[in-house]
Amino acid sequence: MNLIDVTLGSPRLLQRTIGHRYAQDIFQEFTPQVTKYMYPSPPRDISDTVAFIEASLRGLVTGTNLQLVILDGASGDFLGCSGLHGIGGRTPELGIWLKVAAQGKGYGLEAVAAIVAWARARLDFDHLIYPVERDNSRSRAIPEALGGRVEEERVEPTEAGRPQDLVVYWIDRHGA
Ligand SMILES: CC(C)(COP(=O)(O)OP(=O)(O)OC[C@H]1O[C@@H](n2cnc3c(N)ncnc32)[C@H](O)[C@@H]1OP(=O)(O)O)[C@@H](O)C(=O)NCCC(=O)NCCS
């Protein structure tokens, strides 16, 4: 299933598939403050961001990786990135980050809820997973609001080698 044309609308947001036109926004906004609790490190150079976009485009074409950008539905402003990774497997993984200026407005939950609804309507899977660092309470509120529950805990190194204390929420195939 080629995912390149997927668009997800929700009350305040439009999520659409990533493309090279977002390279500058992603490079500028994916800062150390944003990645504090995340696996990846911030890009050192725009070529890191371009490489990420190219890998993401390959995953869209093969249908394994729904990599989206989050835009303001009215203005089209870039707000962040979201995605569903490992499509085709039994436990696809949700991911999200918002630029600092877009945090604290409830966009995170709105974006992830739209992806969960899309997955439930379109995909076959056992459950979605949402791995999150134990101390990242703002992020943990998202799967909790969607009925997720912690089913695994593990420590894994980030890209930079820092041990990450993760809890993994499972979100059911069917809503409550
Ligand atoms: C984690 C993240 C995606 C959470 O998204 P968020 O939308 O900023 O979540 P927040 O908790 O800040 O926003 C919800 C807040 O917005 C408020 N809000 C304002 N308007 C709202 C609206 N219309 N609807 C819902 N909530 C709204 C809520 O009251 C809530 O505030 P509270 O927690 O003080 O009650 C975001 O903080 C982020 O990108 N962090 C950095 C990257 C990261 O850690 N990603 C996750 C890796 S697992």
Calculate mean pLDDT across residues 127-153: 98
| Atom nearest to 80 CA in ligand 1 | 39
The whole-number average pLDDT for the span 60-66 is 98
Query: Domain locations in the chain?
Result: 7-126
Host H or E run for residue 7: strand 7-9
What pLDDT, on a 0 to 100 scale, did the predictor assign at position 176? 67
Residue nearest to atom 34 of ligand 1 (CA): 104
Neighbours of 108 (CB within 10 A): 23
Average pLDDT over residues 152-171: 97
Residue 168 near ligand 1, beta carbon < 6 Å? no
Q: Dig out the tokens for 29 from the structure.
A: 């906004």
Q: What is the average per-residue pLDDT within 19-30?
A: 98
Determine the pLDDT at residue 1.
85
Q: Does domain 7-126 have CATH number 3.40.630.30?
A: yes
Cα–Cα distance, 32 to 38 (Å, whole number):
10
d(CA 104, CA 9): 20
